[in-house]
A and B are shown apart, each in its own frame.
Chain A
């Protein structure tokens, strides 16, 4: 008898899962977007989104025009960070160039640069950056200084200095300093989180809004099963998305998977489950699709982008934000993906993060079951 009822309830459950699948499959447009969106995003962002600063347009005001300044200007122009757009002749032009918004920095050489350098051992370069974007200004100033210092070292080496320390710098994991290495894990977190959370939240609230929830609730199926049945199709959909993101990042973006693939997929599924649970929670506390969407999107999109650490390093943030960032599930997933995919470490290095994500998942689940109301208002 018991066995029979279990069988029956399983059948009920699967018929619900089937119903949800039909819902999704019937809506071709939504399907297409759900599966195509991650692909488009990974390609666009993998190639276009880089916090590297390169090809910045700069101007030069060379008051000296001698061997040294020409050599330095040549070096600057040859680096991939700078494109020399303009040669200015007068200080007065600097202001107008900046106002038009094209030029990011001006390099100014004083008069008799080479003479000063060789006779007095001292010469001056002035860099004026448009600091309305402080990040770019800072980076450009650093790059230009490095190029000039490099030149200085070249000519100094001709008269070797005593007591020198040579520093050898090695870039681990990403010797070419490619932007995609830090963005692929970020986009992965972003896409999975938003697709799963938003879609589950909306489908459930939709039944509330159109009134079909009442029909479901008076049926003999347990409410919990209804909700879980709704989440399963999105879990499968997300797994397809995980696969396509991984394939694209390896074969199109050349981002390697250095660690275990199984581990990577396992943690991705864990993260998907966490996002689904969060979606359930949102759906059980909201009543209209608009509100659910707004909470999921406006409440999650910006914080996920900004506090997960992939756009802005968390350790630079003031301490209240560093604490808040711990609540963002994407932060933990981002750390895990970076470790497994790029550093190639094993489970022993990421168990803490996995534990946190698992904890979050159960927390969201329990809370949403508690908040789930059988009776509608």
Chain B
């Protein structure tokens, strides 16, 4: 026990001596939490539209002003041919082209039928789909207005009408930040934990100071615990700061209890640190350690369900996410923060992450050798 305390003292001194690292450990997460959640907004607005109006009729003008008044679309350009509008798309000035053909109004009135052409830049499929859907809704609405001008209103609505009423639970204002902030918090805690832990032992190897420790009577588990505990504490501290920021700046107050979050985070950090230790026992330079942990982190984070929904991934990728501790923490964070889930709801995730912690740390202790 005394040995461990001395080791801890050594580690903490090392950490606090290098203030540049400390600054980065705390400043980076704070900065990113303050900036990035604002970026992650999927609600489509400001869709740029380029209109080709061959008709120049009162109706075509009405339609255009209805589209621009909707708030979703910005009339970026008003051209006289489709090809000119296509250039707008090629230049990324417009996302969408609306082409109003000759005699649009005449056909509508005389032949009771008329056509409109819409072309969407579909490189980003989701965006294209939504943009097209918004525009169709507006056109349908316009259509209804026109119809009302020409047909005598019947006693009751002649049109069949299925009314779709939608409601959004747990986040009725559809605030994307409520969804992103807990997720980003997880990533930051993970990065701080795993990178620092994996670099730490390797650094001693690379500089050669590990030899000095190896010739002392310090036991393997003491050495590893001595490396683990400081970063475990730092990780929890970063989490506390992050939760403070999300409350202060985003007004996010977890619906569930903080106790559940911290309980899970404590176990989770053990798993992440174990991964870091494991990487460090298998590598000999900091460069290698960085690359491997970066590679793993990138996969963990991008396949963790932070940005894209796990349900939409193909089967094999969903299998990978089962072996991804990050995805469990993101899931739990969101459940606790947004839905107020308790220990009973998250016990599966907790057990799995606990399993990870034991497996990774056990492996790290076994594979760490005092000789080279």
Contact = CB atoms under 8 A, between A and B. Distances in A.
Contacts of A291: 18, 20-21, 24
Interface in B252-309: 283, 285-288, 290-292, 294-295, 298-299, 302-303, 307-309
Contacts of A137: 168, 171, 174
Contacts of A290: 18, 21, 196, 199, 203, 286
A274 B165 CA distance: 51
Interface stretch (A6-14, A173-181, A363-371): A173-181
A209 B203 CA distance: 10
B92 interface: yes
Interface string A280-300: 000000111111011101110
Interface string A11-43: 000000000000000010110011001001100
Interface stretch (B132-140, B214-222, B224-232, B350-358): B132-140
SS class, residues of chain A in contact with chain B: helix
Given A104-B311, A174-B123, A99 B118 contact: no
Nearest to A127: B166
Contacts of A98: 169-170, 339
Interface residues of A, number: 123
Interface in B74-124: 89-92, 108-109, 112-124
B122 A172 contact: yes
A71 to B, nearest CB: 12
Given A132-B171, A167-B139, A316-B46, A141 B166 contact: yes
Contacts of B42: 51, 134-135, 138, 312-313, 316
Interface stretch (B2-10, B330-338, B362-370): B330-338
A198 interface: yes
B207 A122 contact: no
A1 B293 CA distance: 51
A172 B124 CA distance: 10
A63 interface: no
SS class, residues of chain B in contact with chain A: helix
A4 interface: no
B286 A302 contact: no
B102 to A, nearest CB: 15
Interface residues of B, number: 120
Contacts of B24: 291, 294-295, 298
Contacts of A162: 112, 147, 150-151
Contacts of A257: none
Interface in B160-190: 160-172, 174-176, 178-179, 184, 187-188
Contacts of A167: 115-118, 135-136, 139
Nearest to B341: A99
B290 A293 contact: yes
Contacts of A127: 164-167
B122 A177 contact: yes
Q: Which of B114, B118, B161 has the most CB of A within 10 A?
A: B161
A169 interface: yes
Q: Which of A30, A135, A317 has the most CB of B within 10 A?
A: A135
Contact of A33 (B18, B113, B119, B292): B292
Interface stretch (A146-154, A224-232, A263-271): A146-154
A248 interface: no
B329 interface: no
A165 B142 contact: yes
A321 B90 CA distance: 24
B79 to A, nearest CB: 16
A129 B20 contact: no
A163 B146 contact: yes
21 contacts: A37-B295, A54-B312, A55-B312, A57-B311, A99-B341, A121-B161, A126-B166, A128-B167, A128-B169, A131-B171, A134-B179, A148-B162, A168-B116, A172-B89, A172-B120, A174-B128, A209-B207, A288-B18, A297-B191, A298-B188, A313-B127
Given A172-B89, A297-B290, A321-B35, 15 more contacts: A34-B291, A53-B126, A101-B345, A125-B163, A130-B169, A132-B170, A137-B174, A145-B166, A151-B162, A163-B147, A170-B120, A290-B18, A294-B24, A306-B36, A342-B123
